[in-house]
Amino acid sequence: VPVLLFVAAPYIRRYVAGGRCKSTAKMEGKVVIITGANTGIGKETARDLARRGKVIIACRDIAKAEAAASEIRAETGNQQVIVKKLDLADTKSIREFAEKFLADEKELHILINNAGVMLCPYSKTADGFEMHMGVNHLGHFLLTFLLLERLKQSAPARIVNVSSLAHHGGRIRFHDLHGEKSYNRGLAYCHSKLANVLFTRELARRLQGKNTKGTKVTANALHPGSVYSDLVRHSFLMTWLWKIFSFFLKTPWEGAQTSVYCAVAEELDSVTGQYFSDCQPAYVSPRGRDDETARKLWSVSCELLGIQWD
């Protein structure tokens, strides 16, 4: 058995690694925002895109973000890797980030909503939202709303939402969106990842609608794969399992490939409202294709955030 495993190891690793973004597209003069890019797949996405254009790392932890940016600048030779503070668990911080960005930058070509929390013990954001739904969905929903006009002005532009295969286990529980009646942290993560898929679907529909005259802004979602990162830090069991089975998990670089693909691949110029995994279209759960739920979630999200987004 050990001999067989040794022989099979390279093939297993190749299978686990999954798809790879082969695009060499350059992005001179283009601006990218990546949320949560101080670690894991966000950092690797930033590293790749810094070889192509200007990257803004939007993070809550400025010290970690500056360390990541410094490393990326040194490695790529691109000094246009900039850190800006963004706490997705606080709508005040999101609004401040957007206001500062819009004052500093005249263009935005790619928005990658990458940051996320997973398996948190029950807690709420500064605005009283359940943490998974608040950060993973509502925070990015508000950020996208605030930056959308700049994306339209800079078009062609892309919005990339990092979701997960976990959306298959999710439901949008409108009667208990913030888990006050019942809470399971694994399911809470799944619910928020389903919200990412539904948000992408409805956003793409609206961007293609008659009223927008078909803006050249696309929106796609993706599953990065099962990645060996610190996203599972809130669960001792998952951290332990991740270490044991790390050989069968993607590295952060491998996990970033589909994010990079959705951001730069030329063949996706006019593709919108889709869901990708391993740099190719992937199956979306029936709940993730429910347009009625997508529209209702949009409306409820606007209500919770106190915004009008028609």
Catalytic center residues: 189
DSSP secondary structure of 56-124: EEEES-HHHHHHHHHHHHHHH----EEEEE--TT-HHHHHHHHHHHHHH-S---EEEE-----SPPS-B
Is there a contact between 268 and 250 (Cβ–Cβ < 8 Å)? no
Query: Which amino acid makes up residue 46?
Result: A
Between the CA atoms of 169, 172, 176 and 178, what dihedral angle is there, to the nearest 10 degrees? 80
Query: Which amino acid makes up residue 183?
Result: Y
- How far CA 267 is from CA of 21, 22, 165, 189, in Å, comes to 12, 11, 23, 31
Instruction: Return the bridge partners of 250, or none.
Output: 227
Q: CA 272 to CA 261: how far, in whole Å? A: 13
Q: CA 124 to CA 179: how far, in whole Å? A: 10
SS3 category, 302? helix
